[in-house]
Amino acid sequence: MVQAYSREPGTGGPLSDIRPEGVRKIRLWAFCIALGGFLFGYDTGVVSGALLYIKSDFDLSSFEQSSVVSVLLIGAMIGAVSAGRMADRLGRRKTLAAEGLVFIGGTAILVFAPGYGALLIGRVVLGVAVGAASATVPVYLSEVSPTELRGRFLTLNQLMITTGILIAYLVNLAFSDGGQWRAMFAVGAVPALLMVAGTVWLLPESPQWLVLKGQVDKARAVVESVSGEARATRVVEQAVRRREDEKRGAGQKENWRVLLAPRVRPALIVGLTLAAAQQFGGINTIIYYAPTLIQKTGLSASNSIFYSVAIGAINLIMTVVAIRLVDRMGRRPLLLISLTGMLAMLVLLGFSYVVDLGSVLSLLFMVIYIASFAVGLGPVFWVLIGELFQPSARAAGSAASTAVNWASNFVVSLAFLPLADVIGQGETFWIFAAVVAFTLWFVGRYVPETRDREFDEVDTALQARFGRSPQAGPAPG
Ligand code: BGC
């Protein structure tokens, strides 16, 4: 309910129109939804440790090892692409529940995998769930959040992703003694079960989606369960009006086609560019290959798991900082600070390898780079894809952006080590630096502030940044 719990002039302080127990309820909903983010982090993080033991159990070649890691990314692209349509047809709630079941299925295949083939299948299935959930979670979170807390709740997604990564590293550490890789995967079933149970028993359908489907009374009942009756009526009327506007404008087209409407284009350009930039800035070369990189600076391999836990912890801590700041400072300042920090660190990291500044400095630059990502580009990308698209284009827009994010992740993860071999490690970091410099310019020029803004206001600001007057196209959605 981005717009649903909207601010009304003169209603007093933030959230004054939502009952305290209502706020608690929305928090619980947000937590259940964001379990999808946790699974995203856990299932992408767990494989680094599990692989060490799988490779000896099944005698895997290095190609087979990297395929076990990267097929998840292919599955994720497929999942992300399918999720938009499903979330529009079945609703956000059923889609999330179905994704939880796919998580459980993929995990079961991995836990009982008799050989390499089954491992690949399990990883693809898990990938489908990861990709689909990563597209659904921002949309659903955005639609159940009051405007004043929307940034916070959307950032919760990234917090859960980073928590998932860190917990995966710790689980790896705990089960590394006996090399129990099946147990490492099995732990992922617990949050998946919780997510399914939470979705079935706790979560309401998104009021935005209900209004889009003409189920106005049900939408009103959901809003009323956290706020007063008069408020719910006003809120639903606003959503109905918007649906009518969308029908007249871009929103009458089905699913993907809605993304081609001129009115939606600015949001799509920002969503897709940030999706690619988030990955081509190099984040997962550190998240996935930290131990290898650290070893290259001259530190011992035996410490590598320890260092990856440290990196995971910094990632998490700085995401908490972002949560505190995102609704106070706004999205743009966080993005600009984050990108500036990343740029400086990538340039320095490049030097540290090219002129060999020593392992301590390289490690320091890496840590500050991760911290800079975590305070801005990491969470704010996921925040914006929940906020920028008009309601009827939201699921499709989020799915398209998420799919591009996974495709870019796949390309960077696959190309990173070979590229570093050919042009050099430091030089590769400078390529990432160039991408980040471009992103800095792009954000300065095209990304509007969305903090405290209803969708209509966001849309006006977005159209203005692209040189279109708000009256230029059909009425905004
Ligand atoms: C990115 C992931 C990355 C993670 C690291 C997310 O925002 O989309 O690819 O692994 O941040 O924290």
For position 402, which CATH number holds? 1.20.1250.20
Q: State residue 9 phi and psi, 5-degree precision.
A: -55, 135
Residue 378's pLDDT band, with cuts at 50, 70 and 90, is very high
- Lining ligand 1 with CB less than 6 A are 158, 161-162, 278, 283-284, 287, 315, 378, 405, 409
**CA-wise closest residue to 131 among 86, 189, 190:** 86
Hey, whose CA ends up nearest to atom 2 of ligand 1?
284
Of ligand 1's listed atoms, the one at least distance from the Cα of 319 is: 12
Whether pLDDT at 7 is above 60: no
Highest mean pLDDT among 9-13, 60-64, 173-177, 364-368: 364-368
In a domain, 210, yes or no: no
CB distance 323 to 314 below 8 Å? no
Q: How many whole angstroms from 294 Cα to the centroid of ligand 1?
A: 19
In a domain, 238, yes or no: no
Of residues 3 and 387, the one with the higher pLDDT is: 387
Q: How many whole angstroms from 114 Cα to the centroid of ligand 1?
A: 31
Mean pLDDT rounded to a whole number for the chain:
87
Of residues 178 and 160, the one with the higher pLDDT is: 160
CA 391 to chain centre: 18
Of 61-65, 94-98, 387-391, minimum mean pLDDT range: 61-65
Of 135-139, 181-185, 299-303, minimum mean pLDDT range: 299-303
What integer is the mean pLDDT of 96-100?
97
Residue 249's pLDDT band, with cuts at 50, 70 and 90, is low
Q: How many whole angstroms from 67 Cα to the centroid of ligand 1?
A: 20
Residue 450's pLDDT band, with cuts at 50, 70 and 90, is very high
CB distance 360 to 318 below 8 Å? no
Best residue among 72, 73, 130, 158 to mutate for probing ligand 1's pocket (most ligand atoms within 8 Å of CB) is: 158
What is the number of alpha carbons within 13 Å of residue 464 lying toward its C-beta? 8
Residue partners of 193: CB distance under 8 A and separation at least 6? 100, 104
In a domain, 240, yes or no: no
Hey, whose CA ends up nearest to atom 10 of ligand 1?
284
Of ligand 1's listed atoms, the one at least distance from the Cα of 381 is: 7
Of ligand 1's listed atoms, the one at least distance from the Cα of 44 is: 10
Distance, in Å, from the CA atom of 401 to the CA atom of 408, rounded to the nearest integer, reads 11
In a domain, 248, yes or no: no
Whether pLDDT at 5 is above 50: no
CB distance 438 to 277 below 8 Å? yes
In a domain, 421, yes or no: yes
Percent of the chain with pLDDT over 90: 59
Residue 254's pLDDT band, with cuts at 50, 70 and 90, is low
Q: How many whole angstroms from 378 Cα to the centroid of ligand 1?
A: 6
Q: How many domains does the chain have?
A: 1
CB distance 43 to 76 below 8 Å? no
Identify the pLDDT of residue 87: 93
What integer is the mean pLDDT of 256-269?
90
Residue partners of 350: CB distance under 8 A and separation at least 6? 426, 427, 429, 430, 433
Range of the domain at 47: 20-203+253-465
Q: Angle 391-423/265-280 helices, nearest 10 degrees?
A: 30
Q: Outline where 90-225 has alpha helix (H).
A: 92-111, 116-144, 150-175, 181-186, 189-201, 207-212, 216-224
In a domain, 246, yes or no: no
Best residue among 38, 44, 46, 284 to mutate for probing ligand 1's pocket (most ligand atoms within 8 Å of CB) is: 284
In a domain, 407, yes or no: yes
Whether pLDDT at 154 is above 50: yes
What integer is the mean pLDDT of 30-39?
97
In a domain, 460, yes or no: yes
- CA separation, residue 302 to residues 44, 47, 168, 308 (Å): 22, 18, 18, 11
